Each structure stands twice: as structure tokens, then as C-alpha cells.
């Protein structure tokens, strides 16, 4: 069977949500959680439809950025409220 070309749209959304998680205070945690769920859904779709490896790399990148954004925002939120 031939692999489909193209990139899953949800993979791109997870990368964008991860980037937004870094720059939006307080709401960034919610965006990061949404990005984590979106990247997991995208990865399942890519595996099920046998899409390209580029899509899997993008979902992994989105997952990593979202987790890093969530950690970053959580750290800064707790520091803000501890003052």
C-alpha cells in the first residue's frame, strides 16, 4: 500500500497551540492541554491512515512544545501568585 502524502491538520494545530502556550499568560496552560490532546488524536489518525513520516514528526514536535509550554506557564503562574 502506498503512503499518503501531506500533513495532518491537527498536527499543525498542536504546534501552533504549543507556541501560543508560551506567550499567553494563564490561558497558556489550557492551550497546552488542548495541544496535547490534539497531538495525540493526530498521531492516532496518522498511524491509522498510514500517512507520511513528516506528519508523525510534526505531532511529536507539537507534543513536546505543548508539554514545555505547560511547564513554563505553570512555573510562572505559581511564581506570580506566591509573591
**What pLDDT shows up at residue 35?**
95
Domain ranges for the chain: 9-82
Predicted pLDDT at 4: 64
Contacts for 62 with CB less than 8 Å, ≥ 6 apart: 11, 12, 13, 14, 15, 17, 18, 35, 38, 39, 42
Q: Give me the pLDDT at residue 72, please.
A: 92
Please provide residue 35's backbone torsions phi and psi, each rounded to the nearest 5 degrees: -65, -35
d(CA 4, CA 72): 36
Residue pLDDT tens, the chain, 83 long: 556 667 888 999 999 999 999 899 889 999 999 999 999 999 998 888 877 767 888 999 999 999 999 999 999 888 877 76
Amino acid at each position: 500500500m502506498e503512503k499518503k502524502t501531506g500533513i495532518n491538520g491537527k498536527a499543525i494545530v498542536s504546534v501552533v497551540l504549543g507556541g501560543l502556550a508560551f506567550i499567553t499568560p494563564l490561558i497558556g496552560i489550557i492551550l497546552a492541554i488542548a495541544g496535547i490532546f490534539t497531538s495525540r488524536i493526530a498521531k492516532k489518525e496518522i498511524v491509522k491512515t498510514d500517512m507520511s513520516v513528516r506528519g508523525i514528526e510534526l505531532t511529536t514536535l507539537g507534543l513536546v512544545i505543548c508539554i514545555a509550554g505547560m511547564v513554563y506557564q505553570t512555573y510562572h503562574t505559581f511564581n506570580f501568585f506566591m509573591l
